[in-house]
């Protein structure tokens, strides 16, 4: 397995992020934002990068805007751009607002999938979660996303039920608690 690193989003890596968007990758697993992000990035790269992780509000799949939670966001690299992983939270509590399915979200570009990168990236972000005082984090995946379920289970995930999927009628999100130790 190739070693990966977690990088803070930066202008230096923005061309690689742009290339992934142009190839059809979406950093959002609930709806495809690749074209919208590509347009914004090409219009003003510096502003795009700033707004991507520092805007006080985020837009949900249904179009609603909600306050952005505190977060630690990373891009995944094996020397090339491989995807993203982020940890969002509310300080002092495991609770999340209804707009957030879980504490951690991740996605690997299609041409780098099935190489163990998701499993490694999740393992690597858990100490960040622990550093924020979390002994466990909630992670969800679509009920038909076997690869993501395997990533979560490989990192000690314990089933914690389901919640309705907000954008896929007839589907649910599987919930797992993952220890940070």
131/38 Cα distance (integer angstroms): 33
How many residues are given for the chain? 181
27/49 Cα distance (integer angstroms): 13
Q: How confident is the model at residue 180 (pLDDT cuts 50, 70, 90)?
A: very high
Per-residue pLDDT of 106-131, as tens digits, reads 999 999 999 999 999 999 999 999 99
Per-residue confidence (pLDDT) for residue 30, from 0 to 100: 80
Q: How confident is the model at residue 58 (pLDDT cuts 50, 70, 90)?
A: confident
Q: Strands, DSSP E only, in the chain?
A: 5-7, 57-59, 65-67, 71-77, 81-88, 104-108, 136-142, 158-164, 172-179
Per-residue confidence (pLDDT) for residue 173, from 0 to 100: 92
Per-residue pLDDT of 14-49, as tens digits, reads 999 999 999 999 998 888 899 999 999 999 999 999
Mean pLDDT (the chain) is 93
Identify the residue with better confidence: 55 or 124.
124
């Amino acid at each position: 397995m190739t070693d990966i690193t977690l990088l803070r989003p930066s202008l230096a890596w923005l061309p690689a992020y742009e290339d992934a968007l142009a190839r059809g990758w979406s950093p959002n697993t609930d709806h495809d934002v690749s074209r919208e992000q590509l347009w914004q990035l090409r219009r003003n790269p510096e502003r795009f990068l700033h707004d991507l992780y520092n805007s006080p509000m985020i837009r949900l799949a249904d179009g609603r805007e909600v306050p952005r939670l505190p977060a630690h966001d990373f891009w995944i690299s094996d020397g090339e751009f491989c995807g993203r992983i982020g940890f969002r939270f509310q300080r002092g509590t495991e609770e999340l607002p209804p707009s957030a399915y879980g504490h951690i979200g991740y996605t690997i570009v299609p041409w780098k999938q099935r190489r163990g990168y998701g499993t490694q990236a999740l393992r690597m972000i858990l100490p960040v979660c622990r550093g924020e005082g979390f002994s466990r984090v909630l992670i969800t995946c679509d009920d038909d996303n076997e690869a993501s379920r395997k990533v979560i289970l490989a990192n000690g995930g314990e089933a914690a039920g389901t919640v309705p999927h907000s954008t896929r009628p007839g589907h649910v999100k599987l919930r797992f608690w993952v220890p940070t130790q």
